[in-house]
Structure formats: structure tokens, C-alpha cells
């Protein structure tokens, strides 16, 4: 079989597994959602990168004394909803902007197998539906305990927590003040610290 070295070689009418994903040798970072290849997005904007860095600056000091670990894209998160976890059975691989994993047994040299405790996605132009609907549903179904969606254009953070298997909107943060992290009690990020632009 011819090696896959360009995204254009993929047949987007087919479904794929993590085993297939591992054989692809192209530069774009792609995600698989229930076997379907999500088209690669344009590289993150400067503002997206700044807000991601600002979030990490606030999270990393807390992680130093914690049993949890924080990762940022590109970092493979293989989501499963039950059944065997062999590479051929895994049909969903995402690369969240930021994720926190507290169950270290889920980590291996290839990333995270199973749901992280907390995921943050920063919306970029053209990927609003992916983050607010497709990934929202996926993370809810997979058991991600807390999901934040950051909207750079309007400087808003929507925070959701999983309650009885469904996401509930904790709050939308639109102005300076603390944003508490439900999965890490005692941690609150500062809204102004996220949306600062150098």
C-alpha cells in the first residue's frame, strides 16, 4: 500500500482508526472523530497562541505541586467509550489546545488514552462548530469532567462541568475576575491574565 504523505491522499468518505493515523506521514495535524478525518485547520493565530500561553502560565505553577499533568497541542488524546482499546479499535484522536490529566495511568508515550479531567479549546475563525458542537458532544460523551471554550474575539470563557453525564454551563466569564476550576478545587484563573496581549 502506498504510504500516506499528504492529506490529499486520504479518502474522506472512509472511516479510519488510530492504527491508520499512526501510519500517516504528513505535516498537518489532523483529528479523528468517530473514524472521520477532520480537515486540518489553518495554523493558530497570534492571538490564539498568546491566549494559550497565558492560560498555561497560570496553570503550570499549580501543576508543579499536583499529581495532575498539563499538556498542550499537539498532544494526542485517544478517546474511548468502552470496549477494547487496541489501536484498531480506537476511532477518535483529538488534539485539545490544553488538557489536564489527573489519572496518570491514562498517560503513555503516545499521549493520553481516555478522557482528560479538564480540556480547554480556544475558538479560531472557521472552527467554531468543531469546538462548540462536535467536540462539546464528544467530550461530554467521553466523560471529560470540565470543558472550557475560550472565545478570543469577545474575550469570553464558557465553563462547563459534567453532571450526571451531561454538561451544565457553570458560567460565562466576560470581565475581569477569577474563573474557578471545578476539577481542581482551590485553583482559579484570572480572566485578565488570559486575555492580556503583549
Rounded mean pLDDT, 126-130: 78
166, 65 Cβ separation under 8 angstroms: no
* Of 122, 108, 119, residue with least CA distance to 154: 122
pTM of the model: 0.93
pLDDT at 81 over 80: no
Section 185-190 average pLDDT:
92
Residue 85 pLDDT greater than 80, yes or no? no
Residue 48 or 161, more confident: 161
CATH class of 46-76+93-194: alpha beta
Q: What is the pLDDT of residue 84?
A: 56
Residues 6+ apart with CB under 8 A from 54: 193, 194, 195, 196
Instruction: Give me 173's grid cell.
Output: 466569564
Quote the pLDDT of residue 148.
98
Q: Are strands 166-173 and 178-180 parallel, antiparallel or unpaired?
A: unpaired
pLDDT for the residue numbered 97: 95
Asked which of 2-16, 28-42, 52-66, 112-126 is least confident by mean pLDDT, the reply is: 28-42
What is the tens place of the pLDDT at every residue in 9-55?
999 999 999 999 999 988 888 899 999 998 776 666 888 899 999 99
Cα dist. 77→27, 74, 116, 148, 193 in Å?
18, 10, 8, 16, 27
Amino acid at each position: 500500500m502506498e504510504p500516506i504523505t499528504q492529506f490529499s491522499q486520504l479518502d474522506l468518505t472512509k472511516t479510519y482508526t488510530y492504527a491508520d493515523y499512526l501510519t500517516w506521514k504528513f505535516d498537518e495535524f489532523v483529528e479523528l472523530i468517530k473514524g472521520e478525518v477532520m480537515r486540518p485547520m489553518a495554523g493558530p493565530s497570534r492571538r490564539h497562541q498568546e491566549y494559550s500561553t497565558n492560560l498555561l502560565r497560570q496553570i503550570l505553577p499549580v501543576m508543579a505541586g499536583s499529581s495532575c499533568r498539563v499538556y498542550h497541542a499537539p498532544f494526542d488524546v485517544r478517546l474511548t467509550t468502552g470496549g477494547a482499546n487496541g489501536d484498531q479499535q480506537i476511532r477518535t484522536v483529538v488534539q485539545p489546545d490544553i488538557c489536564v490529566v489527573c489519572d496518570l495511568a491514562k498517560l503513555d508515550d503516545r499521549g493520553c488514552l481516555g478522557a482528560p479531567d479538564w480540556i480547554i479549546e480556544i475558538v479560531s475563525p472557521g472552527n467554531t462548530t468543531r469546538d462548540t458542537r462536535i467536540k462539546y458532544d464528544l467530550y461530554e460523551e467521553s466523560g471529560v469532567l470540565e470543558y472550557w471554550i475560550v472565545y478570543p474575539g469577545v474575550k469570553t470563557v464558557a465553563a462547563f462541568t459534567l453532571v450526571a453525564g451531561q454538561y451544565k454551563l457553570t458560567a460565562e466569564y466576560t470581565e475581569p475576575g477569577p474563573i474557578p476550576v471545578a476539577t481542581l478545587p482551590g485553583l482559579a484563573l484570572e480572566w485578565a491574565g488570559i486575555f492580556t496581549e503583549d
